[in-house]
């Protein structure tokens, strides 16, 4: 399994320090900042980076608190296409904004991106699309993903994972768990790849990670009773390094 460290755009230095084999970044986080964009793409060109994924970040863009006009989303798609082409990105996710524009518009955007890049998107299945739609995705694509239910804490959704994974693999299709953050269950489900931002909690909440055997352990909040400030930089570096090591363990 490939474990992609996500949320790298604002934590470039810890990623450089840890050198994880796989990273995921969001186009939305790079959009509008040539400096951030170049720093992120520099990471992807490092010798230690074996592969990377690009998320459209569209849901964040389309739900950031204002009404998005037709021209705005059209420009966003054009910029996404240009970004993919300029940086020769091979694996990128579709704009899974079903709740905002409907599945027909999502498919229209997907076809537009694929026509202008000459590459397939990674489609993102949501429960609103239904079972048959996932089957269709596996008929038409070689790399698919699950969104929404993967980050849910509901057991009923987790019980569905084996069906999706088995079905994809029977079709010789790779499957990605988008935003899969349950560190206790990483090895239970045989996704081909997953991504998580959980490694970033150190600097925000004072939590830290360690590896025990081949298991990733999440420790409680690092509360300093003497009211000393938590060294966020050190925690980010530590957690990034632990997660990078765990990604290498899962990759064996």
Q: Is residue 230 part of a domain?
A: no
Does the structure show a pLDDT above 60 at 106? yes
pLDDT tens digits for range 116-129: 999 999 999 999 99
- Pairing type for strands 143-146 and 174-177 reads parallel
Instruction: Report the pLDDT averaged over residues 79-88.
Output: 96
Instruction: Report the pLDDT averaged over residues 158-162.
Output: 87
**Structural domain range at position 196:** 2-200
Q: Is residue 100 part of a domain?
A: yes
Q: Is residue 162 part of a domain?
A: yes
Q: Please count the structural domains in the chain.
A: 1
Looking up residue 31, the CATH number of its domain turns out to be: 3.20.20.105
For residue 30, give the nearest of 80, 72, 91, 101 by alpha carbon: 80
Quote the pTM value: 0.91
Q: What is the DSSP string of the chain?
A: -EEEEE-GGG-HHHHHHH--SEEEEEHHHHTT-HHHHHHHHHHHTSTT--EEEEE--HHHHHTSSSPPPHHHHHHHHHHHHHHHHHTT---BB----HHHH-HHHHHHHHHHHHHHHSS--B-EE-GGG-HHHHHHHHHH-SEEEE-STTT---HHHHTTHHHHHHHHHHTT-EEEETT---GGGTTTS--SEEEE-GGGHHHHH---EEEETTEEEE------TT-PPP-HHHHHHHHHHHHHHHHHHHT-
Does the structure show a pLDDT above 50 at 152? yes
pLDDT tens digits for range 216-239: 988 876 555 444 556 778 899 999
């Amino acid at each position: 399994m490939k474990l992609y460290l996500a949320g790298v755009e604002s934590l470039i230095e810890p990623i450089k320090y840890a050198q994880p084999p796989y990273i995921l970044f969001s186009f939305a986080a790079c959009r509008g900042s040539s400096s951030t964009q170049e720093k992120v793409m520099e990471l992807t060109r490092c010798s230690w980076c074996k592969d990377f994924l690009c998320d459209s970040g569209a849901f964040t863009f389309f739900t950031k608190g204002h009404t998005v006009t037709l021209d705005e989303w059209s420009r966003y798609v054009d910029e996404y296409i240009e970004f993919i082409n300029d940086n020769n990105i091979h694996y990128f996710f579709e704009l899974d904004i079903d709740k905002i524009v409907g599945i027909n518009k999502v498919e229209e955007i997907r076809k537009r991106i694929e026509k202008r890049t000459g590459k397939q998107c990674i489609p993102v299945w949501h429960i609103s699309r239904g079972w048959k739609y996932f089957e269709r995705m596996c008929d038409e694509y070689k790399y698919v993903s699950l969104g929404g239910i993967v980050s849910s804490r509901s057991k009923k959704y987790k019980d569905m994972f084996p069906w999706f994974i088995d079905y994809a693999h029977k079709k010789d299709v790779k499957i990605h768990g988008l935003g899969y953050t349950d560190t206790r269950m990483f090895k239970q489900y045989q996704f081909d790849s997953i991504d998580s931002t959980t490694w970033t909690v150190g600097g925000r909440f004072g939590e830290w990670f360690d590896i025990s055997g081949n298991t990733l352990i999440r420790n409680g909040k690092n509360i300093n009773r003497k009211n000393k400030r938590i060294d966020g930089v050190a925690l980010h570096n530590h957690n990034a390094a632990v997660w990078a090591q765990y990604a290498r363990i899962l990759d064996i």
